[in-house]
Amino acid sequence: MSTTLPPHIRQAQQKAVARIASGFDRILLYEFDYLEEHRAFAETHFLQNAKSFEEQFSADLAEMDEDERDDYSDHMIDEYTKVVEVLPRLQWYAQFLVVYSSFEHALNELCGIVKNRSGFSLSLKDLEGQGIRRAANYLSKVANVHSPFKSPEWNRALLLGEIRNAIAHRNGEIEFKPNDKKSLSHRIQGVHGLQLKQIAAGMEDADLVLDANFVRDAIRVLRKILTDIANYPLYENEG
């Protein structure tokens, strides 16, 4: 006895498109949920630390005379700088590096998924170049994935790559050329959660200062790129 599928189910099946990543393949996207959870936890920790420090500092000052307050304030300024500036700076540098590394790794994994599911003989390592540009080259030229690499998010990913290199190789220090439109210091102007800090006016270099908002936005942007690629129709190898 043969069973005829209802027209609406048959139409749904015909419209179904195999995606680049489905089911278990998408576990690589879950990493970004965990990264955001960790980022939020760290942000809450630093906010609580700063609040506790300020409350204790005010309480201590209230019990001192004027001379003691001056000495105490001078003594505590370094501790305040550590709590409010130094430790958060190290945290956001470290987490951003992990976020970007996770993105690059996930892109490479998507290239591997494409190769295995489509039966291509060419693999990512067969292409010249490195990093996310090589992965984008593989996915666009071999698997016909195009729109994710023409998006504003991809342009931001490339900028994030430059920021990542400055942190990884120069400890966050870049040339300070805010009026040079080609310079990184000019192109990062207006990026949410990112500032440039000079130790003294007139210096040739400045330090990148990230905050929790920058890392949050990076996680969101990079995750969207990966999701868009994962949702792309799987290229069927007809050869």
Residue 116 Cα distances to 25, 54, 123, 192, 236, angstroms:
12, 56, 9, 39, 11
Strands 173-175 and 205-210: antiparallel
Distinct helix (H) and strand (E) counts, the chain: 8, 3
| pLDDT at residue 7 in the model | 66
| pLDDT at residue 17 in the model | 63
179: DSSP letter: T
Pair of tokens at residue 22: 């489905």
Cα separation, 85 vs 35, in Å, equals: 22
**Domains in the chain: boundaries:** 25-230
Whether 147 has a pLDDT exceeding 80, the answer reads yes
Q: Per-residue pLDDT tens for 73-121? A: 877 888 888 999 999 999 999 999 999 999 999 999 999 998 888 888 8
Four-point Cα dihedral 86, 91, 94, 100, nearest 10:
-120
Q: Residue 90 in contact with residue 215, Cβ under 8 Å?
A: no
Predicted TM-score (pTM) of the model is 0.86
Token match 């195999």: residue? Answer: 18
| pLDDT at residue 66 in the model | 78
Give the H/E segment covering residue 226.
helix 212-230
| pLDDT at residue 71 in the model | 79
Whether 14 has a pLDDT exceeding 60, the answer reads no
Does 219 or 238 have the greater pLDDT score?
A: 219
Residue 47 Cα distances to 6, 88, 149, 199, 208, angstroms:
58, 10, 36, 25, 20
Q: Per-residue pLDDT tens for 22-61? A: 777 788 899 999 999 999 999 999 999 999 988 988 888 8
Can you tell me the mean pLDDT for 190-205? 91
Whether 1 has a pLDDT exceeding 60, the answer reads no
Whether 233 has a pLDDT exceeding 60, the answer reads yes
